[in-house]
Structure 1
């Protein structure tokens, strides 16, 4: 993690005591905001301006933080300073605490009687799962306030790490670290798969048997290489013994891709539930091919300390009930 240089008064490095519970109890929210502002602005003086305190006051707050945690949070040098490894670690954890405080404030200010849940999800979920979950919670009278952020798998996991969301509905990648998984509750929800799609009028939509050469020769609308769908699609082609096609159009949105495929001039690949959603409206037709497209699983991911909160537990229960009643 790269952190901007921080200008601080030079000082002789001294050994700090171990974390002191009494000192930690005396820290205020403004102390927690200090490291966040130092990382964002690049200097202690700029951070003090953002917090509307004097620079000596900010320096004292930093000293109180270091005393409370028993470690050096800023590494000083002749050129200024930067967050130490301990400082980076502290900031990562404090962002979660600050995000939780912001959620409490927003929830109480708007509708005090309802819990607020900040959910991250793939755009696919809004088409496949969210309507059924919303209807079920509303029928039971347990619908919390929801703020929804859509993003990629990597983007959602970063939002979760930073405390910007409370939970995520997402597939998981093999690269997720062991240290990270120990802080998370992972609940497998339902199986997912990809599907090929074309307009009902496309010549391939009327064929009973397709070959990889036929697919390779077509014009394609595909997500970019950063998307998991594209990675799985390219790998599938390679396993079929063919080079993946070069797309005529690249777009991250499966809505855009399916809409373009519906014009009849190109093929696309998208999550099966999205293809069937558009197929039910007569816009595209799923192309059958053996062997089929890759399969995976959708997960509900939440930080362990938040898993039992009412709104989050109710959301997970509704996701489980909806996927059991009608697999997505």
Structure 2
């Protein structure tokens, strides 16, 4: 019987899985990325017969068909996609182990993903706390959008994330991630001190069309949160004059150019303290979100990741543990 055919109805055996090598596991990822067994074999420096044999061994070990041949080369079956979701975490952990041991293996490495605003307020205080305790790990920090960070975490490229979530997002991630809530945040509308809205109170959504606006690009978490109240009230959201993903660039340009922008309150605090910008006093504040610490649910967190979590919880608790609320000036 053909091994691949037998694999369709076979039961996965631990002894067969134990005989697999790391390159067996990488095969699925390479086919998913490159679209064919031939291309995967070239990356692995294997001949076509050798890569075919490797696939047969992989499917026999897992007891199901993992790759479907197509006229264009090959694609993962549904079972292959489910297997790769798990295996990417394993492959990421293997790669992380190699990276951690490459230099200063005595100090643990934490691959941290974060939103840029975290590096201005929360992370520096957590780093200072861990350094004072003598337990600061090596940090490999990656900045990205919320969606980008979540994808990197699920692919095993990160050990943890510090980011912002809305309530609905937290519900969707609950099955695949461990979420530690650090504190609540809200989204603030910000203007230059000389903007016509700077001195007004009780500002409605319709007043915000005065602009001009600097906004994050479409598809980002903040842009979605900003546009939703307009759509819910039957209005078209303002069209930005400038699109930029950097909160800090946006706030600096707002201060210098008489613009409006939107930013989490934590990003705003530094600029407002120096009187560079003013928070627009809205009649109804934009939705609140949560600053959270996220780790994969599929694997146990290393001790260094747990220590980073504890430090972040401690420093955000110093903020009072209360939701950040819009300031109302009278």
Q: TM-score, normalised by structure 2?
A: 0.88
**Residues 1:63 and 2:69 aligned together:** no
The residue aligned with 1:236 is 229
Measure, in 1, the Cα distance between the counterparts of 2:177 and 2:14. Answer: 26
* Preserved CA contact (<8 Å) 1:136 1:318: yes
Name the CA shift for 1:136/1:306 in 2 (closer, same or farther; >3 Å). farther
Structure 2 counterparts to residues 168-183 of structure 1, below 5 A = 168-172=161-165, 174=168, 181-183=174-176
Structure 2 counterparts to residues 253-292 of structure 1, below 5 A = 253-292=246-285
Once the two structures are superposed, what CA deviation does each residue of 1:284-318 show, in whole Å capped at 9, x if it has no partner?
12222222222121221111354441111001001
Q: TM-score, normalised by structure 1?
A: 0.88
Measure, in 2, the Cα distance between the counterparts of 1:54 and 1:281. Answer: 64
The residue aligned with 1:82 is 75
* Preserved CA contact (<8 Å) 1:36 1:95: yes
Measure, in 1, the Cα distance between the counterparts of 2:131 and 2:106. Answer: 15
* Preserved CA contact (<8 Å) 2:191 2:259: yes
* Preserved CA contact (<8 Å) 1:16 1:66: no
The residue aligned with 2:307 is 314
SS of corresponding position for 1:193: strand
Name the CA shift for 1:198/1:185 in 2 (closer, same or farther; >3 Å). same
Name the CA shift for 1:18/1:187 in 2 (closer, same or farther; >3 Å). same
**Residues 1:225 and 2:225 aligned together:** no
In the TM superposition, residue 124 of structure 1 has moved relative to its aligned partner by 1.6
Q: Which moved more, 1:50-59 or 1:71-80?
A: 71-80
Structure 2 counterparts to residues 1-328 of structure 1, below 5 A = 13-14=5-6, 15-76=8-69, 80-172=73-165, 174=168, 181-238=174-231, 242-326=235-319
* Preserved CA contact (<8 Å) 1:200 1:264: no
SS of corresponding position for 1:204: coil
Measure, in 2, the Cα distance between the counterparts of 1:198 and 1:263. Answer: 10
Name the CA shift for 1:43/1:113 in 2 (closer, same or farther; >3 Å). same
Measure, in 1, the Cα distance between the counterparts of 2:188 and 2:101. Answer: 43
Q: CA RMSD in A?
A: 2.4
**Post-superposition, which runs of at least 4 consecutive aligned residues in structure 1 deviate over 6 A?**
none
Measure, in 2, the Cα distance between the counterparts of 1:295 and 1:176. Answer: 13
Name the CA shift for 1:199/1:45 in 2 (closer, same or farther; >3 Å). same
In the TM superposition, residue 57 of structure 1 has moved relative to its aligned partner by 1.7
Measure, in 2, the Cα distance between the counterparts of 1:272 and 1:63. Answer: 54
Once the two structures are superposed, what CA deviation does each residue of 1:169-218 show, in whole Å capped at 9, x if it has no partner?
2233526776x533321111100101121222334323355444443223
Q: In structure 1, list runs of 5 or more residues that go unmatched.
A: 1-9
Q: In structure 2, list runs of 5 or more residues that go unmatched.
A: 325-330
Aligned length: 318
* Preserved CA contact (<8 Å) 1:169 1:298: yes
Once the two structures are superposed, what CA deviation does each residue of 1:36-92 show, in whole Å capped at 9, x if it has no partner?
222222222221121112222211111111111111112246775422111111122
Q: Which moved more, 1:206-215 or 1:80-89?
A: 206-215
Measure, in 2, the Cα distance between the counterparts of 1:226 and 1:325. Answer: 33
* Preserved CA contact (<8 Å) 2:215 2:243: yes
